Chain A
Amino acid sequence: MKKLLEVKDLHISFHTFAGEVQAIRGVDFDLYEGETLAIVGESGSGKSVTTKSIMRLLPQGNSEIKSGEILFNGENLATASEKKMQKIRGKDISMIFQDPMTSLNPTMTIGKQIMEPLIKHRDLSKSEASKRAVKLLDLVGISKPETRLKQYPHQFSGGMRQRVVIAIALACAPKVLIADEPTTALDVTIQGQILDLMKDLQKKIETSIIFITHDLGVVANVADRVAVMYGGKIVEVGTVDEIFYNPQHPYTWGLISSMPSLDSQDEELFVIPGTPPDLLHPPKGDAFAPRNPYAMKIDKEEEPPMFKVSDTHYAATWLLHPDAPKVEPPLAVQERQAKFRASIKGDK
Chain B
Amino acid sequence: MAKYITKRIIYLIITLFIIASVTFFLMKFLPGTPFSNEERLTIEQREILNAKYGLDQPIPIQYMNYMVNIVKGDLGVSFQFENQPVMDLLMNRIGPSMQLGVQAMIIGTIIGIALGVLAAMFQNTWIDYGSTFLAILGKSIPSFVLAALLQYYIGVKLGWLPVASWNGFSSSILPTIALACFPIATAARFMRTELIEVFGSDYITLAKAKGNSRGEVAVKHAIRNALIPLITVLGPMAVGLMTGSMVVEKVFAVPGIGEQFVKSIMTNDFPIIMGTTLFFAFLLTVIILIIDILYGIIDPRIRLNGGDK
Asked if A and B are interacting partners, one says yes
A87 at the interface (CB under 8 A from B): yes
Chain B, residue nearest A94 (CB): B209
A82: min CB distance to chain B, Å: 8
Stretch touching chain A among B163-171, B185-193, B283-291, B297-305: B297-305
Q: Which 3 A-B pairs have the closest CB atoms?
A: A90-B211, A90-B210, A89-B211
Q: Show the binding face of B for A, using Cβ within 8 Å.
A: 123-124, 201-203, 205-213, 220-221, 224-225, 228, 300-301, 304-305
Distance to closest chain A CB from B34 (angstroms) = 55
Instruction: Add 19 more A-B contacts to A86-B212, A89-B209 (CB < 8 A).
Output: A57-B209, A89-B210, A89-B211, A90-B210, A94-B209, A97-B205, A97-B206, A102-B201, A102-B202, A103-B203, A103-B205, A104-B203, A104-B206, A106-B203, A107-B228, A117-B210, A120-B212, A121-B211, A154-B304
A103 to B200, CA, bound (A): 11
Q: B205–A91 contact, CB under 8 A?
A: no
Whether a CB of chain B sits under 8 angstroms from the CB of A61 is yes
**Would you mind naming 23 contact pairs between A and B with Cβ atoms under 8 Å apart?**
A57-B205, A61-B123, A86-B211, A86-B213, A90-B209, A90-B210, A90-B211, A91-B211, A94-B209, A97-B205, A98-B202, A102-B202, A103-B205, A103-B206, A105-B203, A105-B221, A106-B225, A106-B301, A107-B225, A107-B228, A120-B210, A168-B210, A169-B209
Indicate if A307 sits at the interface (CB-CB under 8 A): no
Interface membership of A95, Cβ < 8 A: yes
CB-CB under 8 A for A103 and B202, given A108-B221, A154-B304: yes
Q: Which residues of A lie under 8 Å from residue B212 when comparing CB positions?
A: 86, 116, 120
Instruction: Tell me if A136 is interfacial: C-beta within 8 Å of chain B.
Output: no
Closest A residue by C-beta to B201: A102
A155 — which chain B residues lie within 8 A by C-beta? 304
Q: Which of A106-124 contact B (CB under 8 A)?
A: 106-108, 116-117, 120-121
User: Taking A86-B213, A105-B225 as contacts, is the C-beta distance between A61 and B202 under 8 angstroms?
Assistant: no
Which residues of the other chain, B, contact A99 by a CB distance below 8 angstroms? 202
Across the interface, name the chain B residue whose C-beta is closest to A86.
B211
CB distance from B124 to the nearest CB of A (A): 7
> How many angstroms from the CA of A82 to the CA of B215 in the assembled complex?
12
B203 touches A117 (CB 8 A): no
What are the residues of chain A within 8 A of B208 when measuring CB–CB? 57, 89
A210 contacts chain B at the CB level, 8 A cutoff: no
Alpha-carbon separation in the docked complex, A152 to B301 (Å): 9
CA distance A55 to B203 in the complex (A): 15
| Known A-B contacts A104-B203, A106-B203, A152-B300; A95 and B305 likewise in contact (beta carbons under 8 Å) | no
- Chain A 64-112 residues near chain B, CB threshold 8 A: 82, 86-91, 94-95, 97-99, 102-108
**What is the CA–CA distance of A152 and B123 in the complex, to the nearest angstrom?**
30
Query: B207, B224, B225, B228: which has the most chain A beta carbons within 10 Å?
Result: B207
| Residue of B203, B212, B228 contacting most chain A CB atoms (<10 Å) | B203
Taking CB atoms, residues of chain A closer than 8 Å to B206 are 95, 97, 103-105, 165, 168
Taking the closest CB of chain A, its distance from the CB of B85, in whole angstroms, is 48
Q: Least Cβ distance of B264 to chain A in Å?
A: 47
A120 contacts B211, C-beta separation under 8 Å? yes
Residues on the B chain within 8 Å of A55, using CB: 209
* CB atoms of B124 and A61 under 8 A apart: yes
- CB neighbours of A121 from chain B (8 A): 211
A154 x B211 contact (CB < 8 A): no
Known A-B contacts A61-B124, A107-B228, A154-B300; the reply to A117 vs B211 at CB < 8 A is yes
A61-B124, A107-B228, A107-B300 given; A102·B210 CB < 8 A: no
Query: What 1/0 flags go to A143-157 for Cβ under 8 Å of B?
Result: 000000000101100
Please name all residues of chain B whose beta carbon is closer than 8 Å to the beta carbon of A154 when the two chains form the complex. 300-301, 304-305
Bound complex: CA of A152 vs CA of B210, how far in Å? Answer: 19
CB distance from B227 to the nearest CB of A (A): 9
Kindly state the separation between the CA atoms of A22 and B227 in the bound complex, as whole angstroms. 37
User: Within the complex, what minimum Cβ distance (angstroms) separates A160 from chain B?
Assistant: 15
In the complex formed, the residue of A with least CB distance to B225 is A107
Q: What chain A residues lie within 8 Å of B304 (beta carbons)? A: 154-155
Across the interface, which residues of B come within 8 angstroms of A102, CB to CB? 201-203
By beta carbon, the residue of chain A nearest B213 is: A86
Given the complex of chains A and B, what is the CA–CA distance between A223 and B207 in angstroms?
27
For residue A165, which residue of chain B has the nearest CB? B206
List chain B residues, Cβ under 8 A from A107.
224-225, 228, 300
Min CB distance B56 to A, Å, is: 62
Identify B202's interface contact among A87, A97, A108, CB under 8 A: A97
B28 to chain A, nearest CB (A): 53
